[in-house]
Structure 1
Amino acid sequence: KEAPAEDSLFYLDDPAPMFRKEFSLNGEIKSAKLLITAAGYYKATINEQRAGNNMLDPAWTEFGKRIYYSEYDIANLLMPGDNCIGVVLGNGFYNPLPMKMWGNKNLRTALNVTGRPVFIGKIVVEYKNGKKSIINSDESWQYEYGPILKNNVYLGEVYDAGKEIKGWDKSGFNASIWKNATIQNGPGGQLQKAFFPPVQITDIISPVDIYSPFDKIYIVDMGVNFAGIQRIKLRGDPGDSIVFRFGERIYEDSTLNTMTAVCGQIKRPGVGGPGAPDTAWQTDTYIIGPSGNGIYSPEFTFHTYRYMEISGIKYKPQISDIKGLALNSNVPQINNFSSSSELINSIQKASERTFLSNLISVQSDCPAREKFGYGGDLNATCEAFIYNFDMQSFYRKTVYDWVDAMNDSIFIDTAPFVDTKYCGLSWESAFIITQYYLYLYYNDIDFIKELYILNKKWMEKAARIHPEGIIDAGLGDHESLEPVPSELVGTCHYLFCARIMRQFANLMNDDIGKEHYGQLAKKLKNIIRKEFWEKPVEGKINRQTLFSSLLYYGIVSPEETPSAVDSLMKAVAAAPAGHFTTGIFGTKYILEAISEYLSPDKVFEIVNNTKYPGWGHMIEKGATTIWETWKESDNVYSNCHPMFGSVSEWFYRWLGGIRPDPGFPGFTKFHLAPNTPKNLDHVNCTYHTPAGKIVSNW
């Protein structure tokens, strides 16, 4: 199909195409592989059985530059003689709706390449006699449209069970009225085999309650907030339309609150553009088929929710009929932290759940409202993710996303690129900083060597855009309770990049580069000292972020450190409840600065507390994932945002006491110095490194 001529027409039914191909096998099979990818999403079946466990595949990338394919072992799905492969295509981020997020961002024009979903694949069968059969995707395939009438990563899916075609992906099916497939141009990206964990169902969650706030409406409480989909057994009369809506919260009257998870703040008529819903909430629709029964689980979307509203159903559903299916890139969950404090444990579990919910092939800022791979959030939490999971291959993929997204003239905010470019260097510097953490934690030197020339070009761009060194544009310390200028946080990130590049140049035996980046680092440090330490800082500024930044980046000398610590603690004491008021970056810095230069006990006292502002306050208010803001929000702000999850890094670093030594990447040598606050009885902490497992229990 061609794309609709008008934006409003995109919102009409647009059934997902289903492709099939029958083939015969003759001989004993030694091995059989399916290699497949798509622009968009795909689901592949062999003889009616799903090939592999991947969901929302392939991973989101700049489809015009790079597309990852998956390889499945399908030997156990094949039969002697006749077989059939089926492929269903979903839209994903390749065929988005022209919905205007915030009233202006249309992903169809914001993304570098979009189009109708297409796929490419082949089956390779090797026989024990040495012969081989190859089944390619070509014009001999046939296609028809099936029961998935609509699918969108934000708005959800419409599924009409009355349009199911039984046996369509089984050999012997009568496909005489099906049409022959056509060869189409793909988006142009280089095909590469996926080397990172795929998105899969990683947890099955049972509801804790089902209730009816008013007649014919049911609310399912899953007990925790998470990213994923639902699986539900349904019954009704043929043609009944059952609607599911999803939210992170409920109102005081126990009805569903969708507003913190609405796509792009589209919450009133006209904002989303022609054809868009007045409120772009997460929703699925299932239409009962002729049998009157069905099991529904959406295929090409994902939601963020604790609460699911069901309408159109004629009975109260049973808890046993419903499951929540948590989705995330299946990064190895090999590390763990727990303690004697139930509050600390709840904060850690909420952090873990938030992190996983924001790993749907990119590390996102939030898994509902935007789903974008923001670099600032990555800079703030990269180490926290690494402490919790094996992130090496995932973060390699992330860095490649930045390689594909960048251009030479501006700083961008996300990878893949979605035409946001106002956050500045503190966001795009994730390209350099993530590489450093891959080096520090995994000793990934080969990656640095591969990208070194690109890294130098990035530093040249930074120098062109900010020739004086001061970073005078950007977002700053997002969600700080007081203003923080980009001149502080942005220039600190620039300094960090210069220091990183000096280290990379040393690894590359680039003496000229080492000298250049060393001089740049000195220049930037002096700029920060002059602007934010050697003279009074005028105007309103979050002094917690100010002084913790100066300490974290070593801007002040050892002799000046006590004065900076004193100023920092005065700022903490002046804050509500004597707690932190810092934002996305300042929170990471203040946790480390107070622990390093004063005492981790003071940090523990603040973290292990339920007063506002703080993580304990979130937990006391019922949070099961980490909020975007210190203040509770029931409308604008995400309730599943990783950036304040930097506290989980602190648990591992200071309560577990496990810290890398920058001089010995990959933990060939490391620091083990757990802190034992008087109100904490024990900690159990395990962290896996390339050099082996570290256990810190006390």
Structure 2
Amino acid sequence: MTAAVRPHTLRTEYAENPVGLEEPAPRFSWLLATTPAATTPAATTPAATTPAATGTRRTDYGSQDEGSRGSAAGQSAYQIRVASSVDVLLAGGSDVWDSGPVESRRSAQVEYAGQPLRSATPYLWTVRVWDAAGEASEWSDPASFEMGLLSPDDWGGARWIGHPASWSAGGLPNGGAAEALPAPLLRTAFRLSRGDSTGSPPVRARLYACGLGYGEYYLDGHRIGRAVLDPAPTNYDATVLYSTYDVTDLLAAGPPGAEHVLAAHLGRGRYGEPTTSVWYWEQAPWWDHPKLLAQLVVSYADGRVQRIVTDPTWRSIDGPVRVDSLFAGERYDARHEQPGWTERGFDDSGWSPAAAVAPPKGALRAQQVEPIEPVAEIAPVALTSPRPGVFVFDVGQQIAGWARLRLSGPAGTEVTISYGEKLRADGTVETDQQLRLIDADIQTDAYVLRGGDVETYEPRFSYKGFQFVQVEYPVDGVDSHGKGSEPYRPALADLRAIVVHTSVASTGEFLCDDELVNRLHSATRWAILNNLHGVPTDTPVFEKNGWTGDAHLTAGAAAHNFHMPRFYTKWLQDWVDAQMLSGEFPPIIPTSGWGYHGDSRSAIAGPIPAWEVAYVEILWTMYMSYGDERILSRHYDHARRYLDYLVDGYVDDDVVLVGLGDWLPPDVGGAPPEGPGIYETAYTWRYAALLAAIAAVIGRDGDIPAYEELQGRLRSGFNRAFFDAAAGIYHGEKPAGYRQAANVIALSFGLVPQDVRPRVFGNLVADIHARQDHLDTGVIGTKLLFPLLTANGEVDLAFRAATQRTYPGYGFWIEQGATSLYEHWGADSRSRNHHFFGHVDQWFVEDLAGLSPSAPGYATVRVRPVPPQALGHAYASIDTIRGRVATSWRRRDDGYELRVELPPGVTGEVYLPRAAGGHEDARECGDGVHIFT
């Protein structure tokens, strides 16, 4: 018989056919599809579903194999084969690893357990599965993975090199940030050595390269890959990332015996940032001039290997990028271009030999996070000229990236290009800093024309956050003969906005019949993506820093919308690199050194538990969204060290009074007037609770009693310090009147004694009503407010508060024309491209549409929509590691119709809303499409 399921879409370490893996035991996953003979009807009636034994939610702490019961389309066992070639697999064998049949419903996070994997070696793998009836599927189409360079010896003698003008005779930097020199060009020419008598082309060619701070690479005039701003930023004294590129086709394209050219263009990034800022990146301990390490490995059919490596025989020259700063922008002088420098036949005799330079201190690691790439182009929607020589393009959307421009004018004319999120009253682009964080004009490029034909320019080593681009020509510009010239007048077609961010895949959808909510969903997606640049930043304009609080507040929304596991895995390693021996974390990761306690330059008074909880919040997101237990194990001891540091130094009388608290409530420019204590104490409790949950998953049960004891102490201290029993109100350590967020966090975390909970909740609802159904919360309180109201029968109030079109409310931003999210509630918000208020989208998906995991990795899905009266239907879907899960509901005259779609091997817990409120008892369903009425 034919099996009811077949495996497809094979992934290794969350990626399809990855190259450059470092994991000694990579994990495999696959999706399941029903075979035609086993396909179930497109819909089933409610009578065909099986009621669950209880209406309660399943435990979050079981293994992935729990909760995956269902139809014959489920998986009961699997077998994986890994081989050194596709021929071995096709012959039905395996010369690397054969798991043998394994009884398990697990289809993700299956760890390799074969012989040691070899450096720079490709492997093929395939899988077959058995369905619930014991029938075996066919073997899947093979997938591949390739190991990276697993030892420093595998770099083939490659040396770090740079432009000689950047280095003293002793090979040390010439004076640091004060002497930021032009971005260097480097190149080498080589010929292939034929490995056998036939002179056949290479069978495989890989480029391993690390350009610090950024590198772009070329082979025979062709750009290698699509990555920009590469590699992702790290603490370069701890970790330096290199990238792996498959260049086989590019290299094989050349004629036999021809000269080939490998070239690189280097930028500064955070490795050699020249611009002074309050985070003193220009004083980072690793600060250095651009440098390159690269190795091109060419493999031939007879087994011979040829290596082209970086060494002092390479040639170098200053390029046309005369200044590059991640924050300030670039100055590009087209008169310094070297036409054809990446191609064969170019005369580089006037260039200098490259200098051998000191390597960075950090360990070389393969970059496993998706690269930053140009992912889209947007045509402008309007072009104005507020004054002579000044032209302002409106691209109609807040984005992160840059513009590609067509420019024209006499040689030597300098054109200024400024990027901003808003316009001044006179119609020019605003680049002002409300807080002088950067000691330079920000987001401003300068382009010096070479003269002649129309020239095309887009920056390379600096990205911007913007909706508007201002192009300014000198009205009285001069040509090379000193004669005046009129500025070039651009047209709309002369600009394209390039959207640039870490290229995570889109995995989630949400839609309802309220257009404002749909616009908020879109704005949240833009805000999250605009702040994914190798780290989760806080704004692409002013800071570009990995603020920990921002990241955890929207981790749930990000995981619902995008494929985040590789991104978070990388950033969690940045946490390890940032942790002090004491256990302390800084509030931005990575950091130049800014933000540690005792650093007078940063004015950080101590830890910020409500920010640093990001470490365990994101670990838990990785577990619940992707079933990743290994990452819990790898980070557990680091997470425990931080809690020890926090408790030993900052828990006083069972409360914590340092931190930031409910940041940016309405009419407040930062920390809340009631003080941070109630929030930081609550999040210390939350940190301990999550660490206890993690300990339970990874078998560290012996640690749990200590966490529970700490939670009990903190609960007592919390209520002793912050609860007014007579009034039924929670407050901060400073008198500030009634504060919504203080009561929201107490209720949401279950810290309120059960007997007074109704009174505390009633006071909260009364305060919201007294404000004409408006919230009065900052980033913490707002995240918790809507789910709290919804869970306690006030979904209509939650919906009104969330969508208010008057200040403060998300709808107010939309009324201002927002296409991303603002930093604070006011129309004068410093940033219009912020994401930490984007947690509202998590509420859209989990409560309005009703879709969330109830077992790790979506082995079981909870479908429990809570429809507000203002909505008539809602839809959400998520492409999980087990396949697409989706739900939608719509109103009917007598109630609701609820549609649920699940992939093979996934079980659903479905709660149908009642017309009179509440939900019916849970029903359980398996894979397929189910309609409940």
TM range (shorter): over 0.9
Deviation of 1:641 after TM superposition, in Å, equals 1.1
1:508 aligns with 2:685: no
Tell me the equivalent position of 2:239: 66
Distance 1:592 1:680 in 2: 17
SS of the aligned residue for 1:670 comes to strand
1:600 maps onto 2:795 in alignment: yes
Are residues 474 and 112 of structure 1, via their aligned partners in 2, closer, same or farther at CA, if it must alter by over 3 Å? farther
Shift of 1:632: 1.4
Call closer, same or farther: CA 1:21–1:333 in 2, change over 3 Å: same
CA deviation after TM superposition for structure 1 residue 486, in Å = 1.9
**8 Å CA contact 2:409, 2:451 repeated in 1:** no
Give 1:670 deviation, angstroms: 2.7
1:244-289 deviations in whole A, cap 9, x for unaligned?
A: 01111012332222225x7x625xxxxx6xxx54xx2211111111
AA aligned to 1:378 is: A
Structure-2 residue corresponding to 1:265: 436
Contact 1:565/1:598 (<8 A) preserved: no
Partner of 1:151: 324
The residue matched to 1:323 in structure 2 has which SS?
strand
Q: How far did residue 541 of structure 1 move?
A: 5.3
Q: CA deviation at 1:10?
A: 4.2
1:472 equivalent in structure 2: 657
1:379 & 1:54 partners in 2: Cα distance? 26
Mark the runs of 5 or more structure 1 residues left unpaired by the alignment: 267-271
State how far apart, in whole Å, the 1-side matches of 2:393 and 2:776 are: 35
Superimposed CA distance per residue, residues 51-92 of structure 1 (whole angstroms, 9 cap, x where no aligned partner): 000010000000110111111111222224211011011010
Bigger mean CA deviation after superposition, 319-328 or 111-120: 111-120
Q: Could you tell me which residue of structure 1 aligns to residue 639 of structure 2?
A: 455
Per-residue deviation, residues 532-573 of structure 1 (Å, max 9, x unmatched): 235464610562101110111011244433222111112212
1:653 aligns with 2:653: no
Aligned ranges 1:495-534 → 2 under 5 Å:
495-533=685-723
Q: CA deviation at 1:631?
A: 0.8
Instruction: State the 1:179 CA deviation.
Output: 1.3
- Equivalent in 513, 523, 548 of residue 744 of structure 2: 548
1:22 aligns with 2:189: yes
SS of equivalent to 2:870: coil
Larger helix proportion of the pair: 1
Instruction: Point out the structure with max Rg over C-alpha.
Output: 2
Cross-structure match for 2:262: 85
The whole-number CA distance in structure 2 between the counterparts of 1:210 and 1:98 is: 31
Aligned to 2:458: 297
1:682 shift after superposition:
2.2
Query: What amino acid is the match of 2:323?
Result: K
CA distance in structure 1 between the partners assigned to 2:611 and 2:244 by the alignment:
33
Contact 1:202/1:328, CA 8 A, preserved across alignment: yes
Preserved CA contact (<8 Å) 2:795 2:866: yes
Q: Which consecutive unaligned segments of at least 5 residues does structure 2 have?
A: 1-165, 168-172, 195-199, 475-486, 597-603, 667-671, 890-933
Distance in 1 between residues matched to 2:698 and 2:455, nearest whole Å:
60
* Number of aligned residues: 674
Percent same amino acid at aligned positions? Answer: 27
CA pair 164-542 structure 1, distance change in 2 beyond 3 A? farther
Counterpart CA distance in 2 for 1:542 and 1:77 is 66
> 2:362 matched to 1:362?
no
**How far is 1:22 from its partner?**
0.8
> Contact (CA 8 Å) 1:413, 1:424: kept in 2 or not?
yes
Match of 1:428 in 2: 612
Cα contact 1:207–1:319 (8 A) shared by 2: yes
**Does the aligned pair in 1 maintain the 2:275–2:328 contact within 8 Å?**
no
Deviations 1:347-388 (A, max 9, x none): 111111111000011101111111100111112111111111
Q: Structure 2: which amino acid aligns with 1:443? A: G
TM-score, structure 1 normalization = 0.93
Q: What one-letter code is carried by the residue in structure 1 that aligns with 2:691?
A: M
**Corresponding residue SS for 2:331:** strand
- The match for 1:222 among 370, 392, 395 is 395
1:484 is displaced (CA, Å) by: 4.0
Instruction: Say which is worse superposed, 357-366 or 283-292, in terms of deviation.
Output: 283-292
Aligned residue in 2 for 1:625 = 820
Structure 1 pair 592–408 and aligned structure 2 pair: CA distance change class (3 A): farther
Q: Which one-letter code corresponds to 2:270 in the other structure?
A: F
CA distance in 1, matches of 2:203, 2:569: 33
Contact 1:235 1:293 in 2 (8 A): yes
Distance 1:106 1:506 in 2: 41
Q: Matches of 2:450 and 2:548 in 1, distance apart?
A: 45
Q: Distance in 2 between matches of 1:613 and 1:451?
A: 39
Q: Out of 752, 760, 774, which is 1:579 matched to?
A: 774
* Bigger shift: residues 384-393 or 509-518: 509-518
Question: Paired residue for 1:107?
Answer: 281
Q: Deviations over 1:631-677 (max 9, x none)?
A: 1116xx2111111111111111111101232xx22221232012222
- Give distance in 2, aligned partners of 1:316 and 1:512: 72
Q: Contact 1:412 / 1:427 at 8 angstroms: preserved in 2? A: no
Which of 430, 439, 446 is residue 630 of structure 2 equivalent to? 446
* Counterpart-to-counterpart distance in 1, 2:639 and 2:387: 58
Tell me the SS of whatever aligns to 1:28. Answer: coil
| Residue aligned with 1:223, SS | strand
The TM-score normalised by the length of structure 2 is: 0.70
Task: Give secondary structure in 2 for the equivalent of 1:227.
Answer: strand
Q: Call closer, same or farther: CA 1:76–1:514 in 2, change over 3 Å.
A: same
Find out whether 1:316 has 2:501 as its counterpart: no
2:659 and 2:738 map into 1 onto residues whose CA distance is 16
Deviation of 1:692 after TM superposition, in Å, equals 2.7
The amino acid that maps onto 1:655 is L
For 2:208 and 2:759, locate their aligned partners in 1 and report how far apart those are by CA, in whole Å.
Answer: 61
Moved more, 59-68 or 552-561: 552-561
For residues 291 and 231 of structure 1, the distance between their equivalents in structure 2, rounded to whole angstroms, comes to 18
User: Which secondary structure does the structure 1 equivalent of 2:876 belong to?
Assistant: strand
Structure 2 CA distance for aligned equivalents of residues 23 and 186 of structure 1 = 24
The aligned residue for residue 611 of structure 1 is 806
* Contact preservation (8 Å) 2:203, 2:299: yes
- Which amino acid in structure 1 is aligned with residue 699 of structure 2? N
Where does residue 269 of structure 1 map in the other structure? none
Tell me the residue number matched to 2:571. Answer: 398
Task: Kindly indicate whether the alpha-carbon contact (under 8 Å) linking 1:411 and 1:425 is maintained by their aligned counterparts in 2.
Answer: no
1-side partners of 2:176 and 2:229: how far apart? 27
Deviates more, 1:497-506 or 1:57-66: 497-506
Please say which of residues 313-322 and 217-226 is displaced more in the overlay: 313-322
